[in-house]
Every structure is written in structure tokens, then in C-alpha cells.
Structure 1
Amino acid sequence: MPFNFCGLPEQFCTFENSAVVLLPVPFDETSTWLKGADKGPEAIIEASRHLELYDRETNTEVYRKGICTEHALIATGSEPMITEVHAKTDKLIRQGKFVVAVGGEHSISIGAISAHSAFYQDMAVLHLDAHADLRDEYEGSKYNHACTVTRIKETVDTVVSVGIRSMDSSEREKIDERLVLYADLVHENNDWITETLAVLPKHVYVTIDLDVFDPGIMPSTGTPEPGGLDWYQVIRLLKAVSKHRVITGFDVVELCPSDNKAPDFLAAKLIYKLLSYKFV
């Protein structure tokens, strides 16, 4: 079986034949607890080769749209990595491709989002995460994964965060309560998806830090936090956003693989599911 996303044969994975390009970015230089996010893209691709490619819910086989797996983007240093991700993403968008970036730590999203924001002036970012990521600087770097949302806000006006349940007091002062849905409120509020949609414009980029999920189903992250979202809560949100808004691109980050392969498969399934919603 070919080593690409979903293990696709040539007719469904060449660049020319593909609507989707998966961009692996195995970068993990600023993680602050558990290391290994640089192994995430390879683990997700490996797990994806075992997916059932028919999606019952949408009655589709989205792989038939073509999914090209790019060579991994290798960079040393946060700023060079962000610059390279931006340039590569920009080029792919100009070539008419729908880009899925796969990390790697969360800072890879900065370059992907800045590239998309240049094409969609009204674009907002839907940020699924356990952490606020609103520090201006952490451990001497403005590009630490704990600063991701702060850097994103330098190119995008609206960032809507869902699943947040951990932050520093300095981040608390920067929170816009209208644009944050904390994890405990998701569990308590039946209207949370409607409320999220209400603050999103037409064009939405989705960035998914896998620690948004409860560690009971996603233990393989660098900074696991209890009290996270479950599979169907995340999927219901993504389905609603895809139905009522235009998803311009997305990324999935912060898988820190272990001997337990179930989280790798969850991440691969999440990517395939969101593509199924996007192209239904």
C-alpha cells in the first residue's frame, strides 16, 4: 500500500488530479512538556492507510476528489518554519488546491493561516484547543506554541476559540468573552454550536489542536488537559460550520504519538471526516 494519506493509488493522489493537498510539517522545537509532535504527521498518515474510505453519514467517498500528500516540510527554527509554511501554502492556494496542514506543534498554523488570510479578507479562524495560546512571548520566543493565537491575531481580526480550559492569568486579560466558548460551557449549554456560528463570518479557517479532545480519547498530546470535548461534540460543530459557512482550509496539530495507535487513528479519521463535510 502506498505511503500517502489513505494509502491511495496513483489515480487519486497525484498533484494534478487532486483537489486536496495534505502538507505535513513535522516541527517540534518549542513544545514545553511532552516532546514528539514532530512524529505526528507520519503517525497520522500511517493510521490513515487503515481508514474505511466510504463515509456513511455523508454517503461519499471523498478520496475520489483526489488527496495529494506533499513531501514533509522540514525547517529549523520557528521563524524560518513559519515563513516556509506561508510560502508553500500560498503557492498551493494559487494553484487552486484546498490545503490541510498537519503538525507538528501548533505554531505551524501561523504560516498556514497568514497565507489563507491574504486570499480571504473577511476570514475568521475557528480555534479548537484546550489552551488559550494568548501569551505574547514564552520561554524567550514570540513563536512558541503557547503564543500561536497572539500571532494569528496579527493577520486575522476574528479568532473564535472553543474548548478552552487552561490559561495563564496574563492570557485571561486578553480574552474576548464574546469569542470564547469554554469547555465547561460546551458541556452545559445545548445552544453552544448555534452561538459559535453566530460570531463566524462567511469564510472560516479551522485550526484543531488535538488536546481539545478529552484525554480519555486523545491522550497522545504534549499537554493533555482533563475535561475536554468528545468525538461527537467536535464532529457536530465541524459539520455545522461546513454546512453554514465556507471552510477555506484547516490544520490538525499536536499529536504526540505513543505505542497506543488509537489516537493516531482518531486524528486521521478527523481529517477525513472534515474533508467529507467540506466536499459533500
Structure 2
Amino acid sequence: MSSEWSFLCQAIEVIAFLSAPTGLGLRPPVPGSVPGASKAPEALREAGLAGRLLANGARDAGVIIPGRYVDDDATRPAGHVRNEKAIIDHARRLADRLDQILEAGDAPLVVGGDCSVLVGIGLALAARACTGLVHVDGHTDFRHPGNSDECASVAGEDLAAAVGMHWPAISNIDAKAPYFAPGRVVHIGHRANDEEAVEARRTLGLVISATEAMDTTAADTAERVHAIAGAGYWLQVDVDVLDPSVMPAVDSPDPGGLGVDELTALLKQLAPRAIGASVTVFDPDLDPEGCYALLVANIIVSGLGRLGTAN
């Protein structure tokens, strides 16, 4: 039995709850400002998430603090994403912490922050070459220098970076590209007008739109996912996969998304075979009453509560 397969088959002990409060991969809401997604882990703790997870047997794996967010649009040279050095530094530190958690046999649950955390997650998993990826997101996040002149925000380009299709500074940190083999990657949840969906379908193992996901059962979707992603994949969930009628507190809300029950049912099917998961892009600045934080916390506890239990 290979060491990689032994890793995937070892029993998961507990969920390790890890905060990654970064907004480095997002554009500023207005020039000179800072995105609110970096506040999400603390807002979710305030909504009771940590306490509920810990009560269910999880452990607190700490926080990976990001570097300072800078609106560098006026000074950033061509060929670089915003906050590039800070993103790379955060990715390396997140990867180191994830490696420790995985070596302990626990299932990491990374709560962001924005989905640039996928770079650090990919960096951690690149050495475990048999790891697949299931990317649940309202957008394909497949913008890259080969299909756009607008590259700047890793949070809209993370899936392309994860499969080695971005500038090397982001997609090939420490010569680890691709972080995930494209044929083992599944994307679920984009809308019909997603500009990069056609290329994503040509490149990735499986691409399922939000409409397709809603037109079938969660169990049937999971069966298709498991056939491609294999055993022990990473599960990345961007909450803008939800329809803005139920989740408006995100950076880029688009109509046509999943409902809360649909997403929760899908995660319940996907979580047991995942070795870890990440939840991103909730923006507390757009949730002054805290009701959407409670909703996200409920989805995480209900949908991801059996994370890693089938491995």
C-alpha cells in the first residue's frame, strides 16, 4: 500500500476548526477600503459556530493571521495579483498548519476569509498527489491570464491557480504546480452566464452548474462527484453558491443559486468522503444584524458535521 493511500485511508479522529481571516484575494469594495470577508471567522464564532463544533467533539486549531491588506491598484505592476506577497506568505503558513493537522489524522475545517485560501490548501495537499478537489461555488473562479486581461483578484481566480493555470508566483509556489490534477477536480454551482464555464468544462474532470445540481438529487450528484474526485478529496465551499435571496452577504451575489436545504443536503453527501473542507466569502459587513452569520453556521454544523468520517 502506498504512503499516499495509507494517508487517505487512516481514520479521521476529529474535526480541527481553523480560522483563516483573510481578504487578500478580493478587490476593495471602494477604492482604498478593505473587504469585510476577513471578519467572517470571528462573526461566525459570535454566531456560535465554534462552540457548537467544539461541543460536537471538534478541536480548535487556531488562527492563521494574514498580512496587511493594501489597495495596490495604482502601484501594482503588470503580471501580478493584488497583495501577491502577502497571499504567498499566508499560503505557506496555512499549508504548514494544515500539514500538522493532517499528519495528526484530523479533518481540517478552514473558515475564511476569501477563497484565496485554496492556494495554501493546495500547497499543503500537492505533496499528497492523489488528493482530488470538489469546488462548490457560485462562480467557476476560472479566470486566468490565458483568458482574461483583468486578472488581479485571486478570489476570482483560485480554481485556475489550483490547477496550474495562473501566473507561477501564485500557481506554482515552491514548484508544487499543479496543486490538484485537473482530471480529479469537480466544480459545482456556477450560473448560466459564467464566462469561464466552457473552458472549465474542457479542462476539469467534471463541471456541474447550479441548475444541473438543483435538477437532480444530492445523492445522484455526489455519485458523479465521487467517480471523478476519488477518495479523500478536499471540499471547498464558497457561500455565494447560495441564491442571493437567502444569502446576500457576499462579495459577488448572482441569482440562480442553490437554496439552503439544497446546499446542506449536498454537503451532507460530500463531507464524509472529504479529508477536509473550507468555507469562504461570507461578508459580515453586509450582515449588520448577524442573521446570515447564523445561517452560515447552521449550514456548516449540519452539512459538514460528518466531515472525514468515511475515510
Compute the TM-score of the two structures, normalised by the length of structure 1. 0.79
Q: Kindly indicate whether the alpha-carbon contact (under 8 Å) linking 2:115 and 2:155 is maintained by their aligned counterparts in 1.
A: yes
- Give the whole-Å Cα distance in 1 for the aligned partners of 2:196 and 2:256: 22
Task: Tell me the equivalent position of 2:206.
Answer: 179
- Give the whole-Å Cα distance in 2 for the aligned partners of 1:272 and 1:117: 28
Task: Tell me the equivalent position of 1:7.
Answer: none
Matched, 1:48 2:48: yes
What one-letter code is carried by the residue in structure 2 that aligns with 1:148?
A: D
Matched, 1:148 2:197: no
What one-letter code is carried by the residue in structure 2 that aligns with 1:163?
A: G
Find 1:123's aligned residue among 122, 131, 134: 131
Give CA deviations for 1:223-270 in whole Å, capped at 9, x if unaligned: 111111112212222222245xx2100000001012131221122222
- Give the whole-Å Cα distance in 2 for the aligned partners of 1:155 and 1:223: 25
What one-letter code is carried by the residue in structure 2 that aligns with 1:156?
A: F
Offset of 1:168 from its aligned partner? 5.7
What one-letter code is carried by the residue in structure 2 that aligns with 1:135?
A: R
Offset of 1:156 from its aligned partner? 0.8
| Number of residue-to-residue matches in the alignment | 251
Matched, 1:133 2:160: no
Task: Tell me the equivalent position of 1:248.
Answer: 275
Structure 1 residues 1-280: aligned runs within 5 Å: 19-32=14-27, 34=29, 35-48=35-48, 53=52, 63-76=55-68, 77-119=86-128, 121-137=129-145, 139=150, 141=152, 144-153=154-163, 154-157=178-181, 158-165=184-191, 169=195, 172-176=198-202, 179-190=206-217, 191-243=220-272, 246-257=273-284, 258-278=287-307
Offset of 1:194 from its aligned partner? 3.4
Offset of 1:140 from its aligned partner? 5.1
Offset of 1:215 from its aligned partner? 1.0
Give CA deviations for 1:93-151 in whole Å, capped at 9, x if unaligned: 223332111111110122123313423x322111110111112247554x621110012
- Give the whole-Å Cα distance in 2 for the aligned partners of 1:266 and 1:221: 13
What one-letter code is carried by the residue in structure 2 that aligns with 1:44?
A: L
Gaps of 5+ in 1: 1-17, 54-60
What one-letter code is carried by the residue in structure 1 that aligns with 2:17?
A: L
* Cα gap change, 1:87 to 1:128, in 2 (>3 Å): same
- Give the whole-Å Cα distance in 2 for the aligned partners of 1:129 and 1:87: 25
Q: Kindly indicate whether the alpha-carbon contact (under 8 Å) linking 1:37 and 1:104 is maintained by their aligned counterparts in 2.
A: yes
Offset of 1:212 from its aligned partner? 0.5
- Give the whole-Å Cα distance in 2 for the aligned partners of 1:50 and 1:207: 19
* Cα gap change, 1:50 to 1:85, in 2 (>3 Å): closer
CA RMSD, 1 decimal? 2.7
Gaps of 5+ in 2: 1-12, 30-34, 69-85, 164-177
Identity of aligned residues (%): 23
- Give the whole-Å Cα distance in 2 for the aligned partners of 1:218 and 1:92: 31
